[in-house]
Amino acid sequence: MYFNYQDKDYLVIIEKKNNKNLYIRVTSNLEIKITCNYFYSKSSIKKILEDNRKSVEKMLNKQIIKNNADTKYSLLGHELIINYKDVRKPLLEDNILTIKDDKMLDKWYKNTAKEIFKKYLDEAYYVFDEKIPYPILKVRSMKTRWGVCNKRDNSVTLNLELIKKDHKYLNYVIVHELSHFVHFNHSKKFWQTVEKYCPEYKKVRKELKE
């Protein structure tokens, strides 16, 4: 069952219990949850929703505003508007991302990050004049680092949060980690290598720390 509002269909979830009263609430995923007694039929619930349409619309609006205020989403520095709808797979049109729930959103971010990070890694790798191994790309959430270079398994790990920031930060972190295959330290020569492939690294590095 769906509740149509402003040309969008919102999923109605019915949970039956030994309740005396019927309760309507809107979840953070913009699903309309109905808790009622077992004697309520779908047709009777549908009629109740229509009879209380203004109240339901008010609850939807309140939750939509709360969702937008609580969390701001972005993709490579560009704002993303999240549209919750009962869809089978994520749909991105312009800057509007339609997803079913936050679980689908997290999965979309991870898959998108792997795809975009791979593209940027390839571009940076093939620009390097120095002979370095082609790294294994790993993506994960990290609290204290934007990237990690591991020479033991020739891997570069990138922080998932980089997918939300402007591409210049992603490019800098990739160049930084690839430069560690040339100089596995933070010596003067290391920073010279970073500057060679990312001339504005000092400015970008400073912004990334802020």
Number of domains in the chain: 2
Q: Which amino acid is at 190?
A: F
Across the chain, mean pLDDT equals 92
Place 71 in a pLDDT band, splitting at 50, 70 and 90. low
Q: Specify whether 124 is located in the same domain as 172.
A: yes
Neighbours of 105 (CB within 10 A): 19
Place 161 in a pLDDT band, splitting at 50, 70 and 90. very high
Please report whether residue 76 resides in a domain.
Answer: no
The CATH number assigned to the domain holding 148 equals 3.30.2010.10
Domain hosting 130: range is 107-209
Q: Return the closest-CA partner of residue 109 out of 73, 135, 84.
A: 73
Please report whether residue 100 resides in a domain.
Answer: no
Q: Return the closest-CA partner of residue 178 out of 164, 160, 158, 159.
A: 158
Q: Specify whether 65 is located in the same domain as 113.
A: no
Q: Specify whether 52 is located in the same domain as 114.
A: no
pTM of the model: 0.67
Give yes or no for residue 49 having a pLDDT over 80: yes
Question: Distance between CA atoms of 5 and 165, rounded to whole angstroms?
Answer: 33
Q: Residue written as tokens 């209380």?
A: 52
